Structure 1
Amino acid sequence: MLARLRLPFRAGPSMQTYDFIIVGSGSAGSVVAEKLSASGRFSVMVLEAGGTDRRFYVQMPLGYGKTFYDPAVNWNYRTEPDPGLAGNVDHWPRGKLLGGSSSINAMVWIRGAREDYEDWAAAGNPGWSYDDLLPTFKAIEDNQAGADEWRGRGGPVHVTDNTGFVHPLTHRFLQAGQELGLPHNSDFNGAHQEGVGIYQLTTRNGRRMSAARAFLWPAMKRRNVRVETAAHVTRILFEGKQAVGVEYRQNGQLKTARAGREVILSGGSINTPQLLQLSGVGPAKLLQSFDIPVLIDSGHVGANLQDHLGINYTWRAKQKTLNQILRPWWGKALVGSQYLLLRRGPLSMSMNQGGGFFRTDPAHIRPNMQLYFQAFSTVLPKPGERPILSPDPWPGFSIGLSNCRPSSRGEIMIRSADPFEQPRITPNAYSTEHDVAEMLDAVKFLRKLAATSAFADVISEEVLPGPSIRDDDALIDDFRRRSGTVYHPVSTCRMGKNGKNSVVNSRLSVHDAGNLRVIDASIFPSNITGNTNAAAILTGWKGAEMVLEDHR
């Protein structure tokens, strides 16, 4: 019933007013809070539905296996049964804590390809080309490998070079890729993206470098910043079409806060469109079906959902992998002591130590697939747990991949006017012939990698999908059954010229609304080639700069 009320907003005598109210403290919201508060001129309120990120398994890099299903820090979204995934319901983890999904992700730092941002600018978004954004990317970084034409040093996000610490099998993977013609790439964020190499991670001294650690923790020390946790925003408050504040529930109490300048939505690609729809901004027929008064009829709110889909192939190895050190009790004791005393070892890294980008067809002008090498395996399932810290009892390793620019489109829509009911997520995975065809070519490439001389004395047998899965129909059936999200949903409030094709303009202001912006990955006009966290942080940085420019 809360969302159905559309009473004129009046601030009570005890209500505090802030210049800016930021909904969400994730990859973008943390950056926005830090940037807007840095000068001391503006007061900033951050409302986070989750709790603190000061948890051991959040700060320990490989601890994200423990947070993968933990409702204390994870929204644990579930999609609709997806025909493209053989009717499976996919698990979509999203961070429900300070730092958002940057506090539970796999920490791989990939900006995306130059062409991705050229596409953004060409779609009618001035200021978003690669050359426009490169100085910002560099300013964000404190890259351990050092500064150069493409990389930055001295920024708030520490990026670790793990070249000297990866498992030896990772180098076998690099050799295999080069046997198949992929160049060795020492920096996927440098001059070129194609090739195989070691992933750089957002860690520092063996701890996760989340957006909260990099941006929000410093901001929270300022007197002009107020961060409220367990504060679930239920709707945006409007006077006419001007956003003037928000309503939120905290510890069972319904509260309101007023924004003197702007309300900024940084809830991410799921929560942001959900909140807009609950507040009367969205597809009119949908809102009317739940008796939500329509403020702005926008069919693009929640539409145009894009996501990367991934699958792993797994092999039994003839030599030890990380399974043999992470599985037994004595191994856990050893790596645990190594981590606690030195902040080193497997627990200080991601499960994705190596990877790369390749083209499934040489005719493609740029890579369309991403690779992930994991020197351990998790074939044996554990209900309700992602067994990263308890892998298989036999030596195994996996090579995963995900598509970079799928053509399938889904949507995220509310189920009711209840702000506490999870929205309906319909990914429509593999719903185009294009996506099926390129994934078929990609999984065949995985077997080519395994057949190289680099792995000749390593592989004992293929475990998943197994040698019986050979012809095209069987391969397609397999990846439909075993594929799932790689946690990169974007574009549900995409940026564009006008309300006919988008939700926000190039300055991230919501079309036809006043004092309301969206600053998070939901504004991406299209998905990028690779992991999305770096681009989400960039969006927070650039979006905050635009806000400051408009409020000089």
Structure 2
Amino acid sequence: MTYDVIVIGGGSAGCVLAARLSADPALSVLLLEAGPDFATLEDLPPEVADASYAPFTHDWGYRSVADEFGNEVPVPRGRLIGGSSAVNVCVAMRARPSDHQAWAEAAGPAWGYEQMLPLYQEMEHYPYGEPKYHGLGGPYRMTMPVAEDLGPHAAAVRQASADLGHPLVDDFNAPGAPGFAYTPLSAADGVRLSTAVGYLNPVRHRPNLEVRGETLVDRVLFDGTRATGVRLATGEEIPARHVVLSAGAYNSPAIALRSGIGDGADLAALGIDVVADLPGVGRNLTDHPAYWNIHVAKPPQDLAKSMFGSVLSVAVGEGEPDYDVQILPSAAVPTAGLPAAFVSPTENHPTGWDMVFFVSCVQPRSRGSVRLASRDPEDAPVIDLGLYTDADDAELVAGGVRLARRLARTEPLADLLVAERVPGPDVSDEDLAEAIRRAPAHYNHGSSTMRMGGPDDPAAVVDADGAVHGVQGLTVADASVFPAMPRVATNVPAIVVAERIAGVLRERLTTDN
């Protein structure tokens, strides 16, 4: 059978594409996912369904190459239906109007905020904000946390933020000045609502849609410069009229490179025939560098239901027009349960509880890369995150940690904390940037490795509709095509990118039929 469309990757974007494309009964759609396919909510393992837990049980197991200090940083990515939306911490943030302005400047006016707002409204079910900014009845259901869910420590950050002069924002996903806000969550009743749950599962009954889990793709097949299908790691070949790469910021470029799309010299060195010489494939990797500022906390009387659920967005850099740093305060949680508990010894911990300020530079200047280790699809790609290769990023994160320290010294929060544990009082404000560079972490927001841009942009890989330059029948739709890094968690931006590209592609394929 020749499918009309094969979508590679059943993650945040891939589930959207499969649902939206198969809405046309004339289009046959095959969705391929390397990890397991949990077809119903009841099939999900408990740790995946539980919105309060970010599991690493269904993970690709990637690590970055060592930095100058020898640090190899984990790069967790979901390997299951739903992708990373099935294992994330459920923060649901739209790209800012300023982010869409940058996208429009790089990739065309269709990506501007006013043009994209109807897609945000169509995708979401959000009964909390103003109708002119939000939608009801969409497949992406969001809820709002309340202070009681986050515990007294996180709630105290809100008051401390206001006391330090930061605006209290009612609706994070509406335009307006940055400040402290509760963050919408892609969760309800304690259940994580991935794109598999919201988009894919309700339409699995469609006769023109097929989903295959545990199916690793080797490469895209070509006849000249026209994509004709895919080859699996098993050697099986599946023909298609059109192929969509939605495997994420690491695996989409890896598949493209194995398919002969990338820097011609690099491909030739691996013995791969060049289909399209596009040096931008795998370049420009961007992530939000981050730091775990950890404080010993007094045990809470009321346990929180969510570790995260609020954010303080601030401008730290000189001349920043919007904001460039985010601080996510956590609830007080048992020390042994902290993802970052390993960064400092926990023996003789005075309370057994910690609170974290997760500080991130959300407009980083540093860039990394994704390359092939070999032609073997079983081999992990070579990921160089490039964190802090631009020293300004460490300074911005340090500015955020200094603010977090001020918050920790401000009542009512100060009365709920005992002492700073990481980096600790021995590290002065002046020495923070160096301490941050030596303890690299990131927000798990890899993006821009196959970014959008015009034919005159030598680093661009796809056009404004996600079509790969220089070939026919191949589209990319996931976080890898972001033309610029948004200031927010990347799940919602990846979904809205998939929404727009799915609409364009469906119309094009229907017209061609």
Give the Cα separation in 2 of the matches to 1:158 and 1:104: 16
Give the Cα separation in 2 of the matches to 1:204 and 1:105: 14
Instruction: Report how far residue 379 of structure 1 moved.
Output: 5.2
Give the Cα separation in 1 of the matches to 2:199 and 2:338: 35
Aligned-partner SS, 1:247: strand
Kindly tell me: are residues 381 and 459 of structure 1, through their superposed partners in 2, closer, same or farther at Cα, counting changes over 3 Å? closer
Q: After alignment, is 312-321 or 150-159 more displaced?
A: 312-321
- Quick check: 1:215 aligned with 2:199? yes
TM-score, with length taken from structure 2? 0.93
Asked if 2 retains the 8 angstrom alpha-carbon contact of 1:126 and 1:506, the reply is no
Structure 2: unaligned runs, 5 residues or longer: 39-43
What corresponds to 1:314 in structure 2?
294
Give the Cα separation in 1 of the matches to 2:376 and 2:218: 8
Instruction: Report how far residue 168 of structure 1 moved.
Output: 2.1
The structure 1 residue matched to 2:279, chosen from 299, 306, 328, is: 299
What corresponds to 2:441 in structure 1?
484
Which residue identity does 1:376 align to in structure 2?
A
Give the Cα separation in 2 of the matches to 1:152 and 1:304: 33
What corresponds to 2:104 in structure 1?
121
Question: What is the correspondence of 1:417-432 to structure 2 with a 5 Å cutoff?
Answer: 417-432=375-390
Give the Cα separation in 1 of the matches to 2:338 and 2:99: 37
Q: After alignment, is 412-421 or 156-165 more displaced?
A: 156-165
What corresponds to 2:41 in structure 1?
none
RMSD: 2.2
Kindly tell me: are residues 483 and 201 of structure 1, through their superposed partners in 2, closer, same or farther at Cα, counting changes over 3 Å? same
TM-score, with length taken from structure 1? 0.86
What corresponds to 2:235 in structure 1?
254
Give the Cα separation in 1 of the matches to 2:95 and 2:308: 17
Instruction: Report how far residue 481 of structure 1 moved.
Output: 2.7
Structure 1: unaligned runs, 5 residues or longer: 1-15, 326-344
Residue identity over aligned pairs, in percent, reads 32
What corresponds to 1:521 in structure 2?
479
Asked if 2 retains the 8 angstrom alpha-carbon contact of 1:144 and 1:158, the reply is no
What corresponds to 1:228 in structure 2?
212
What corresponds to 1:79 in structure 2?
64
Kindly tell me: are residues 538 and 185 of structure 1, through their superposed partners in 2, closer, same or farther at Cα, counting changes over 3 Å? same
What corresponds to 1:452 in structure 2?
410
What corresponds to 1:181 in structure 2?
165
Instruction: Report how far residue 25 of structure 1 moved.
Output: 0.7
Instruction: Report how far residue 361 of structure 1 moved.
Output: 4.4
Question: What is the correspondence of 1:498-537 to structure 2 with a 5 Å cutoff?
Answer: 498=455, 500-537=458-495
Kindly tell me: are residues 167 and 198 of structure 1, through their superposed partners in 2, closer, same or farther at Cα, counting changes over 3 Å? same
Question: What is the correspondence of 1:322-471 to structure 2 with a 5 Å cutoff?
Answer: 346=305, 349=306, 351-361=307-317, 363-377=319-333, 394-471=352-429
Aligned-partner SS, 2:207: coil
Give the Cα separation in 2 of the matches to 1:386 and 1:46: 38
Aligned-partner SS, 2:308: coil
Asked if 1 retains the 8 angstrom alpha-carbon contact of 2:127 and 2:135, the reply is no
Kindly tell me: are residues 382 and 49 of structure 1, through their superposed partners in 2, closer, same or farther at Cα, counting changes over 3 Å? same
Kindly tell me: are residues 116 and 321 of structure 1, through their superposed partners in 2, closer, same or farther at Cα, counting changes over 3 Å? farther
- Quick check: 1:138 aligned with 2:96? no
- Quick check: 1:191 aligned with 2:170? no
Q: CA deviation digits over 1:486-536, x for unaligned, max 9? A: 100000000000162300000110000000000111000111011000000
Instruction: Report how far residue 395 of structure 1 moved.
Output: 3.0
What corresponds to 1:272 in structure 2?
252
Which residue identity does 2:276 align to in structure 1?
I
Q: After alignment, is 376-385 or 485-494 more displaced?
A: 376-385
What corresponds to 1:242 in structure 2?
226
Q: CA deviation digits over 1:359-397, x for unaligned, max 9? A: 11474221111111111256558999999xx99862321
Kindly tell me: are residues 205 and 380 of structure 1, through their superposed partners in 2, closer, same or farther at Cα, counting changes over 3 Å? closer
Give the Cα separation in 1 of the matches to 2:342 and 2:507: 44
Asked if 1 retains the 8 angstrom alpha-carbon contact of 2:18 and 2:31, the reply is yes
The structure 2 residue matched to 1:159, chosen from 142, 153, 176, is: 142
Kindly tell me: are residues 78 and 175 of structure 1, through their superposed partners in 2, closer, same or farther at Cα, counting changes over 3 Å? same
Instruction: Report how far residue 353 of structure 1 moved.
Output: 2.1
Q: After alignment, is 29-38 or 46-55 more displaced?
A: 46-55
Asked if 1 retains the 8 angstrom alpha-carbon contact of 2:107 and 2:463, the reply is no
